[in-house]
Amino acid sequence: MAIIETQPGRAVLRAAIAGNPNSGKTSLFNALTGANLKVGNYPGVTVERREGRVRCNGGDMTVVDLPGTYSLTAHSADEVVARTVLIHERPDVVVDVVDASNLERNLYLVTQLMEMELPLVIALNMIDVARRRGLIIDAEKMSAILGVPVTETIGNRGRGITDLVNVCRGVARQPERVTVRRVTYGHGVDEEVDALTAVVAGDPGLAARYPPRWVAIKLIEKDEEIVAAVRRHARNAGAIERSATESINAIERHFDELAEEVVAEARYGFASGVIRECVTHQDLSRRRMTDRIDAVVCHRLLGPLILASVVYALFLAVFKIADEWRWVFGRSPTGVVDAIFAWLATASMGIERTSPMVHSLWTDGIIGGVGGIMSFVPLIVVMFAFICVLEDTGYMARVAFVLDRALKVFGLQGKSIIAMVVSGGLGGGGCAVPGVMATRVLADREDRLVTMLVAPLMNCGAKLPVYLMLVAAFFPRAQARVMFLLWILSWALALCSAWIIRRFVVRGEPTPFVMELPTYHVPTLRGVWRHTWNRTWMFVKKAGTLILATSVLLWAAMYFPQLDATAHDARIAALQTGSDGAGSPTTEGQAATRTVDTSDAERDLTRKRRAAQLRHSLAGRAGSALEGASRWAGFDWRDNIALIGGFAAKEVVVGTLGVAYALGDVDPGESESLPDRLAADAAWSPLKAFAMMVFVMIYAPCITVQIMTWRESGHWKWPLFSVGYTVGLAFVLAVAIYQIGMAAGWGA
Ligand code: GDP
């Protein structure tokens, strides 16, 4: 819109633009005035004053852009400036720019402008945004309710400007046509306002300067500027102040709240009443449905119960569908993957004779590594499909809502629960690999990191065989109780660790409790599939190569250096005679079995060779080297090798223990299982078994989890920290349990 100089003799109308910050005031001001504007400061303050001119048919208008404010109290320089212009310059028309997509807050300012009894026009701006959000605003009805003209605008695109200018001109020319409705403050306040208004109106010094009702309201709000103005201008300031104090006391006695708060609440009440009358939600039926569901789902008592069932169902579904139910050619999905890799391993048996090393690398290193990655895929697919359904339906936001307060104490977030449960938080197995990936539902980086670092403390499915084996061997009559104790311990350690890590390592305020509860939706199959596929592919791509490389490295540590064949048997003999406790004298019967059953003997020899090789390997040497420290927790070199193997995956622990303990064994019979063998071993006791279980629970998340932690956190220092922290904690606790137990005499 072009700007021209005012023609002499023509009255220039004056308009002021008020509105909340970000309501689009500047956009509208620019659209009205073009580029031709005058920028200065308001006297005495550094608040910018911008003025421009609008040319329109039949008369020009100057427009002053007031500072953006939410309110017109005297709390900030902006508010005082805006108020002063409105009171003292008395513009012919005041345009209040209202963000239609954020009506409640914007209407608060509207009520205050209405109180000032100004010739008001409302520019319902951002109407496009409101429409996109499904809000239908009845501008005519709003206009009727408020007694103020309302026109719709889209400021950034200059839409609705001509209408706005016309309406403004109409109001400025004939202000009597606008009858701004009275804002009501409800029973108990209105009476006081009316009484005080009468007192103010009776004072000519004040009434000439200010709208009496506005002064009365401001006095009730204890507005210091107005109190000062009363003292300055009123003929009978003392009487007015006394009346004001009486009114304030009456209101505060009535509501047991500060008078200014009562007034502010009443304005919000008025605003929400206007919204109820004039705004409909396009998806009202859905909104109503959502509210009804939320009344149950976010209920104080029912909410947590429903959450527990949903999370439990998710957990069951993931592990049943992916890992238990045999619904793919008579196998479970992970079973299919395992079978494929087992087949690959057997198919390559031929290489063993010609090149045992290549065979071992192929079966233990490569197939083991790739197979390991691929067997996670069914779990990840099913888990993400379910998480995606939870997110798309809108329930995930409620999970956060229900649990946030409880978990925030520990520096976690409501949604962290998903990762913890998937990692094994329910005690019946689970896996921290999808658990770490499940932290993606958390928006905040710090929350994600802390959750990622503590979720592996849960008892995942790979730790269960270790527990089950040791519990069967040492706590046959207290299996359930010991397992329960381990479950409680894992949660206690995870929550305490979260608190510690949040306090000392990953600082930063937890995200504040601002939560939008979206409407419930039925998720689309396509959406769920796309999400699930993307995340699964990311896992294979990101983790695949690294996991393969590390599993080959670990294989090498257990394979090299090699013992040669004669050294093997010499070593076995030496170790057998030297092994303490385990080597009881050979009875005649056992000797007979040995000679009779040559295949048993052969198998026994193979086992012992493997054990000897293991001890000779790098991992075995490391195990021996660590004995000095590990003895404090009761672990010898054989236990250490098994634990080193557990760095690759916890399920390796049982297998490696089996290999390592084959060495000192004098009974060649296959009948004796590992639990029986350990139970019979003098070096083991229930105390040591418990220390071992606690150690296995805590120490070093498996290599796949570490790689996922690296990938998901974006830095290798986090898996490193995780290993350092968990190994340290595991060692300290295992030593404490073992040493205290020994001192208490439980070590027998
Ligand atoms: P002010 O802080 O009140 O001066 O607001 P601005 O005029 O700076 O506007 C804030 C933002 O909202 C800017 O990015 C504008 O482009 C944008 N905006 C202003 N009016 C509208 C509108 O009617 N619709 C939409 N979609 N955006 C708008």
pLDDT tens column, 646-682? 888 887 788 778 777 765 444 444 446 778 888 888 8
Closest residue by CA, ligand 1 atom 28? 156
User: What is the rounded distance in angstroms from the CA atom of residue 247 to the CA atom of residue 189?
Assistant: 8
59 alpha carbon – ligand 1 mean position (Å) = 27
Give the pLDDT band (50/70/90) at residue 245. Answer: very high
pLDDT at residue 587, rounded to an integer: 37
Q: Which atom of ligand 1 is nearest to the CA of 28?
A: 7
142 alpha carbon – ligand 1 mean position (Å) = 22
Q: Which atom of ligand 1 is nearest to the CA of 27?
A: 7
Domains of the chain: 13-177 (3.40.50.300), 187-257 (1.10.287.1770), 302-561+617-684 (no CATH)
Q: Which atom of ligand 1 is nearest to the CA of 153?
A: 23
User: What is the rounded distance in angstroms from the CA atom of residue 423 to the CA atom of residue 419?
Assistant: 6
Q: What does the pLDDT look like over 113-149, one tens digit per residue? A: 999 989 999 999 999 888 888 889 999 999 998 999 9
User: What is the rounded distance in angstroms from the CA atom of residue 377 to the CA atom of residue 322?
Assistant: 9
- Give yes or no for residue 579 having a pLDDT over 60: no
Give the pLDDT band (50/70/90) at residue 231. Answer: very high
pLDDT at residue 285, rounded to an integer: 67
Closest residue by CA, ligand 1 atom 22? 126
- Region 217-228: mean pLDDT is 93
Residue 585 preceded by cis peptide, ω within 30: no
User: What is the rounded distance in angstroms from the CA atom of residue 261 to the CA atom of residue 49?
Assistant: 31
47 alpha carbon – ligand 1 mean position (Å) = 20
Closest residue by CA, ligand 1 atom 24? 126
Closest residue by CA, ligand 1 atom 15? 156
* 3-class secondary structure, 277: helix
Q: Are 28 and 35 in contact (CB under 8 A)?
A: no
pLDDT at residue 606, rounded to an integer: 76
pLDDT at residue 646, rounded to an integer: 86
163 alpha carbon – ligand 1 mean position (Å) = 18
Q: Read out DSSP for 305-344?
A: HHHHHHHHHHHHHHHIIIII---BTTB-HHHHHHHHHHHH
Which of residues 393 and 671 earns the better pLDDT score?
393
Alpha-carbon dihedral of residues 584, 590, 595, 599, nearest 10 degrees?
-90
- Region 485-514: mean pLDDT is 82
pLDDT at residue 46, rounded to an integer: 60
Q: What does the pLDDT look like over 29-71, one tens digit per residue? A: 988 887 666 666 666 666 678 888 887 776 788 999 998 888 8
- Give yes or no for residue 719 having a pLDDT over 90: yes
Pairing status of strand 120-125 against strand 135-137? unpaired
The tokens 């909104």 sit on which residue? Answer: 287
Residue type at 413 in one-letter notation:
Q
Closest residue by CA, ligand 1 atom 16? 156
Residue type at 319 in one-letter notation:
F
User: What is the rounded distance in angstroms from the CA atom of residue 447 to the CA atom of residue 36?
Assistant: 50
User: What is the rounded distance in angstroms from the CA atom of residue 119 to the CA atom of residue 177?
Assistant: 9
Q: Which atom of ligand 1 is nearest to the CA of 19?
A: 3
Q: Which atom of ligand 1 is nearest to the CA of 126?
A: 23
- Give yes or no for residue 712 having a pLDDT over 90: no
- Among the listed residues 332, 561, 366, the one whose alpha carbon sits nearest the alpha carbon of residue 461: 332
Give the pLDDT band (50/70/90) at residue 345. Answer: confident
User: What is the rounded distance in angstroms from the CA atom of residue 421 to the CA atom of residue 441?
Assistant: 14
Quote the distance between the C-alpha of residue 383 and its chain's center.
17
Q: Which atom of ligand 1 is nearest to the CA of 22?
A: 2
* 3-class secondary structure, 730: helix
User: What is the rounded distance in angstroms from the CA atom of residue 96 to the CA atom of residue 18?
Assistant: 5
Instruction: For residue 208, count other CB atoms closer than 10 A to its CB.
Output: 8
pLDDT at residue 457, rounded to an integer: 95
- Region 452-461: mean pLDDT is 91
27 alpha carbon – ligand 1 mean position (Å) = 6
Q: How many residues does the chain have?
A: 748
| 699: DSSP letter | S
pLDDT at residue 571, rounded to an integer: 64
pLDDT at residue 407, rounded to an integer: 85
Residue type at 18 in one-letter notation:
A
Q: Pick from 17, 25, 27 the residue to mutate for probing ligand 1's pocket: most ligand atoms within 8 Å of its CB.
A: 27
* Enclosing H/E stretch for 236: none
| Portion of the chain with pLDDT greater than 90, in percent | 29
268 alpha carbon – ligand 1 mean position (Å) = 24
Of 346-350, 363-367, 382-386, 572-576, the range with the lowest mean pLDDT is 572-576
| Mean pLDDT estimate for the chain | 82
Q: Are 603 and 670 in contact (CB under 8 A)?
A: yes
- Region 21-29: mean pLDDT is 87
User: What is the rounded distance in angstroms from the CA atom of residue 422 to the CA atom of residue 315?
Assistant: 6
* 3-class secondary structure, 95: strand
Q: What does the pLDDT look like over 368-378, one tens digit per residue? A: 767 766 777 88
**Which residues line ligand 1 at a C-beta cut-off of 6 Å?**
19, 21-27, 68, 125-126, 128-129, 154-156
377 alpha carbon – ligand 1 mean position (Å) = 47
187-196, 541-550, 609-618: which is most confident: 187-196
Q: Which atom of ligand 1 is nearest to the CA of 97?
A: 3
- Give yes or no for residue 274 having a pLDDT over 70: yes
Give the pLDDT band (50/70/90) at residue 543. Answer: low
Closest residue by CA, ligand 1 atom 9? 24
- Phi, psi of 438, rounded to the nearest 5 degrees: -70, -15
- Region 535-540: mean pLDDT is 75
The half-sphere exposure of 315 on its side-chain side, counting CA atoms within 13 A, is 25
User: What is the rounded distance in angstroms from the CA atom of residue 702 to the CA atom of residue 453?
Assistant: 12
- Among the listed residues 323, 388, 704, the one whose alpha carbon sits nearest the alpha carbon of residue 551: 704
100 alpha carbon – ligand 1 mean position (Å) = 11
Q: What does the pLDDT look like over 395-438, one tens digit per residue? A: 877 877 787 778 888 888 888 888 888 888 876 667 898 899 88
194 alpha carbon – ligand 1 mean position (Å) = 39
User: What is the rounded distance in angstroms from the CA atom of residue 45 to the CA atom of residue 47?
Assistant: 5
- Give yes or no for residue 527 having a pLDDT over 80: no
Closest residue by CA, ligand 1 atom 25? 126
Residue type at 532 in one-letter notation:
T
Which of residues 9 and 69 earns the better pLDDT score?
69
Give the pLDDT band (50/70/90) at residue 161. Answer: very high
Closest residue by CA, ligand 1 atom 2? 22
Q: Pick from 29, 47, 156 the residue to mutate for probing ligand 1's pocket: most ligand atoms within 8 Å of its CB.
A: 156
What is the helix, strand, coil percentage profile of the chain, to 5? 65, 5, 25
* 3-class secondary structure, 150: strand
Pairing status of strand 93-99 against strand 59-65? unpaired
132 alpha carbon – ligand 1 mean position (Å) = 15
Quote the distance between the C-alpha of residue 451 and its chain's center.
9
- Give yes or no for residue 584 having a pLDDT over 80: no
Instruction: For residue 354, count other CB atoms closer than 10 A to its CB.
Output: 8
DSSP β-bridge partners for residue 65: 17, 50
584 alpha carbon – ligand 1 mean position (Å) = 88
Quote the distance between the C-alpha of residue 200 and its chain's center.
54
72 alpha carbon – ligand 1 mean position (Å) = 21
The half-sphere exposure of 639 on its side-chain side, counting CA atoms within 13 A, is 24
pLDDT at residue 10, rounded to an integer: 45
32 alpha carbon – ligand 1 mean position (Å) = 14
Alpha-carbon dihedral of residues 60, 65, 70, 74, nearest 10 degrees?
-110
